[in-house]
Amino acid sequence: MTFNSHDVSILYDFLTNILKTKDRLKTATTLSIIFIYTIFLYFFVLPKQFYEFISSTDYSWCIISIIFFLAFCFLKTCIFSSDILYYGDPKKNHYTKAFKYYLPSKYIAKKFNIDTKEAEKNWWIVFNSWEDTKDKNYHNRQRTFERGFTCRFVYYIIKSFELIILLMVIFIILHFFSDKFDHFSYVISSFNIILKISILFLCVIIYIFLRLSNNTNINKLNGVWKRFAEINQNHIKWIDNNIRSLEDFKRISKR
């Protein structure tokens, strides 16, 4: 099997577009989470002794850069290797339920009475057949990736705020005892309590906004969940119009 320059060009364009979309959203998700936790550490945790140590170190920026790089790689790997929305249990996680409710593979399994793994395999046969930039469904494929990873972005930001808000409340309570117990000064930042409460209030407002604008109730989907459901419902219509039997999947795979 040989490839000419035109084939290589098409493959390059495809990979560039797909990876750009997926990597951009993966990177945005990871950086946003790091930013949220950095705000928490800076205003609530790191004591003045830490800043004195950093300022007195000649290679402080080098140390910070290494910490940031390691945190970025670790978070990105952990977040997207598990992929809770796709592999999670819809019965235990309402976010997973909203994400998977209209998946075409789920519809294929029900329509042709086959198991989930076989349905997923058949759906990927169809989905991957749209990878050619000249295919009329190519842009739907792109939008599916984009909306799917946008769902992941919103999910991980919401979960990050849930944990951060809880930690902020704990550290605000600890702040009131920092004067009575000297050892607390080594784990509590010295910023004013009013500032900390203000940051907590802002985080709560953002969290509430994200939850209300991205409802996971199947009957009241909105935001990213609704947009992902819409693109999957379009795929389901395509299946109804183009797939009459399991043999059609075999026909597509031989193209």
Task: Give the pLDDT of the chain (255 residues) as one tens digit per residue.
Answer: 444 545 545 544 544 454 456 778 888 899 999 999 999 988 888 766 666 666 667 677 787 788 888 888 888 888 888 889 999 999 999 999 999 999 999 999 999 999 999 999 999 999 999 988 888 999 999 999 999 999 999 999 999 999 999 999 998 888 777 666 555 555 566 678 888 899 999 999 999 999 999 999 999 999 999 999 999 999 999 999 999 998 988 888 777
Q: Alpha helices, DSSP H only, in 103-222?
A: 104-112, 116-128, 138-175, 193-213
pTM, 2 dp: 0.82
> What are the CB-based long-range contacts (under 8 Å, 24+) for 149-152?
149/21, 149/22, 149/25, 149/26, 149/29, 150/25, 150/224, 150/227, 150/228, 151/85, 151/99, 151/224, 151/225, 151/228, 152/25, 152/29, 152/79, 152/80, 152/83, 152/85
Gap between the Cα atoms of 245 and 250, Å rounded: 10
Task: Look at the chain and report how many structural domains it folds into.
Answer: 1
DSSP conformational letter for 237: H
Q: Which domain holds residue 172?
A: 5-253
Token pair, residue 114, equals 């086959």
Gap between the Cα atoms of 151 and 71, Å rounded: 22
- pLDDT value of position 42: 85
Token pair, residue 27, equals 């990177």
Task: Collect all residues with Cβ–Cβ distance below 8 Å to 60 and sequence separation of at least 6.
Answer: 54
